């Protein structure tokens, strides 16, 4: 990298750069298995089910509310 042409943004660690971009630019994920999880785990019985809590997340599957927030998912 030529120091004459380095933008200060490029000096940030990649994680910091990604966080800055995602803070201002929503990430759209075309695949989301969150709606499928309650059907698979609880056989669709989520009403008044103490084991079903979107805020806590799921042990199985790749998507839940905590991970969507952590990953700065802007749309689902």
| Segment-wise mean pLDDT, segments of 10 residues, the chain, 76 residues | 77 88 82 77 82 75 79 73
Is residue 62, in this structure, part of any structural domain at all?
Answer: yes
Is residue 67, in this structure, part of any structural domain at all?
Answer: yes
DSSP 33: -
Phi, psi (5° rounding) for residue 30?
-75, -15
**Structural domain span for residue 47:** 33-76
Is residue 13, in this structure, part of any structural domain at all?
Answer: no
Q: Is the pTM of this model over 0.75?
A: no
Q: Name the domain count of the chain.
A: 1
pLDDT at 43: 85
pLDDT at 13: 92
- Return the C-alpha torsion angle 28, 30, 49, 70, nearest 10: -40
Is residue 4, in this structure, part of any structural domain at all?
Answer: no
Q: Are 58 and 41 in contact (CB under 8 A)?
A: yes
């Amino acid at each position: 990298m030529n120091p004459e042409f380095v933008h200060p943004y490029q000096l940030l660690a990649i994680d910091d750069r990604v966080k800055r971009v995602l803070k201002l630019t929503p990430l759209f994920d075309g695949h989301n298995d969150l709606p499928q999880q309650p059907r698979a785990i609880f056989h669709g019985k989520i009403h008044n089910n103490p084991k079903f809590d979107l805020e806590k997340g799921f042990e199985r599957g790749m998507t839940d509310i905590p991970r969507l927030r952590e990953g700065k998912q802007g749309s689902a």
